[in-house]
Structure 1
């Protein structure tokens, strides 16, 4: 939040860290996913950076509206230097995500300390529901001066998705390809957006017991044996396109790092609704 009488800014992130600044931050450096969400919410980052999975070019699947808005991409966060960040100009706030509620995911805290900029880490892990994650990004954007984001579009998209899921009853499997020998099958309750789909009536397949908190890593034969009707495949640049398509199944892209903003979430639900309603089913 910001104190309008003094211009001071304060915000407590999802690590429980209280952050303050003498004035409301205006020049935000953000992890791609966080930056795309903030842009949707009315806060334009001065630059964004990637994760250890990203290369030197911005992944268009993860970018949201960042590229169209001309927001510079600085490369993977762990490789950033003060000199590289300086190319984007002064930074007075860094925004990352956290999966464990303890550490920023994509950037070394030491870099933010060297920039003398507070580092906000917002949770995108399964300790929060998808609506709560979206709300937290809205709270941060509001503290930075953005107007409240309309949520009606999400509610409408959820209603349409619930109706489509109820009519079709298709079995849906979410996965990330790892080549001809391996595939990572998503555990629905480990992913807030997939857990929300299940709440809305989508019949998500659980890959079953085995190692891995978020994914079960197995072979394509096992994935085929689950007999999905629809496959949500990880479409990020670091993932491999599906090597094998289960007989009779249709494919639709899935971004496991969908920006946590009402517009992005609504688009995700709308796209899945269209896939569920495909007349080819």
Structure 2
């Protein structure tokens, strides 16, 4: 992929857009071979292991896998339940070697980074980890997220895989499925930490529902900025925004392109839709508010002028611990927002 986001993205390309702008970033943070992360407590347990993923595929192994390689965000979710992986692929470190937003609480110095940007997957390094299981998301049926299409067949032959939906599902269901996977791998999904996180999430969901009910006329726009285009996303196409919609949040409904995920607007037409609040893609490869100040049409949007722009965690880490703050932040934004469009 080129260093800049293409003008017209494919269905897969939309989702990679958050990293596409960073293809030229330094990859020096890919960990050395002697920093491969810890082992799972369950890995020492005897007996077979099985899990049915969101493709409907039942994966069976002779024992609980301990050599796990996962997409960074999925690894971060598992980590919150005490399940550690040996390697990761996907946005893990920024160009200044700090953890990417998608790395969560992962200690990025203790995992082998076999791909830090979209299109990169170091197959030899992956094979050297002797992977027993590959775990990633699905944004399209049977399409392993962040596994490069051109080398997909070769990669997927090296180890069994588990794929969990990040689209065509809701945040609530995605959280349940990630917890089920973590439990199967020996994670602690019933202890105090996990229980407290789930209770916080449920409280935050109730708060968001109440905030949306109190302001039924408030319109929220799901946006993502690139140098050339402003992308307005369709809420039902992602697990997070579909869930927010179910809780009562009223979203701008754009007219999507053939892929169905979003509408591409030139910056001249960025004001096509009136919105009171904008939730803006927070991924490191997209333009953030400071960078968007150079776009005159951005600065004139009612939500921007009113200071009603909040980050959107476009690819959530599906643990209750990480999703509860997302709901809390959106609830606060709606509670404090004024009708401006």
Classify 1:82/1:160 alpha carbon distance in 2 versus 1 (closer, same or farther; 3 Å): same
Residue number in structure 2 paired with 1:42 = 82
2:184 equivalent to 1:143 = yes
1:119 equivalent in alignment to 2:161: yes
**TM, length-normalised to structure 1:** 0.85
Q: Please say if 1:268 is aligned against 2:303.
A: no
SS in 1 for 2:88: strand
User: In the TM superposition, what whole-angstrom CA distance separates every residue of 1:51-90 from its partner, at most 9, and x where no partner exists?
Assistant: 7xx9896762212112478444332475333432367x44
CA shift at 1:254, angstroms?
0.8
Match of 1:257 in 2: 315
Aligned match of 1:229: 276
Structure 1 residues 233 and 31 mapped into 2: Cα distance closer, same or farther (>3 Å)? same
C-alpha separation between the residues in 1 aligned to 2:139 and 2:312?
19
What is the CA–CA distance in structure 1 between the aligned matches of 2:101 and 2:322, rounded to whole Å?
A: 12
**C-alpha deviation, 1:32, in angstroms:** 1.2
Query: How far apart are 1:40 and its partner, in Å?
Result: 1.7
Q: What is the aligned residue count?
A: 272
* Comparing 222-231 and 195-204, the one that deviates more: 222-231
Contact persistence 1:172–1:230 (CA under 8 A): yes
Q: Is residue 276–residue 337 contact of structure 2 (8 Å, CA) maintained in 1?
A: no
| Alignment equivalent of 1:73, drawn from 94, 97, 113 | 113
Structure 1: unaligned runs, 5 residues or longer: none
Q: Equivalents in 2 of 1:143, 1:247: separation in Å?
A: 48
2:72 counterpart of 1:28: no
Select 1:247's aligned residue among 290, 302, 307: 302
Unaligned 5+ segments in structure 2 are: 1-41
> Does residue 102 of structure 1 match 2:102?
no
For residues 209 and 17 of structure 1, the distance between their equivalents in structure 2, rounded to whole angstroms, comes to: 31
**Residue by residue, what CA displacement relative to the aligned partner does 1:151-177 show, whole Å, maximum 9, x if unpaired?**
222110101111222233421101111
**Paired position in structure 2 for 1:218:** 265
Task: State the match for 2:210 in structure 1.
Answer: 163
Cα distance change, pair 209–84 in 1 and its aligned pair in 2 (3 A):
closer
SS at match of 1:236: coil
CA gap of 1:110–1:17, structure 2 versus 1, over 3 A, is: farther
103-112 vs 92-101, which moves further: 103-112
Alpha-carbon RMSD: 2.8
Query: Aligned partners of 2:232 and 2:224: how far apart in 1?
Result: 6
| CA gap 1:71/1:58 in 2 versus in 1, 3 angstroms | farther
Return 184-193 or 4-13, whichever deviates more. Answer: 4-13
| Matched-pair contact (CA < 8 Å) for 1:46–1:72 | yes
Going by fraction, where is strand more abundant, 1 or 2?
A: 1
Distance in structure 1 (CA, Å) of the matches to 2:122 and 2:113: 14
Contact 1:109 1:119 in 2 (8 A): no
The C-alpha deviation readout for 1:218-263, integer Å capped at 9, x for no partner, is 1234332312111111111121234414124421111210112211
TM-score of the pair, normalised by structure 2 = 0.71
C-alpha distance in structure 2 between counterparts of 1:173 and 1:6, whole Å = 50
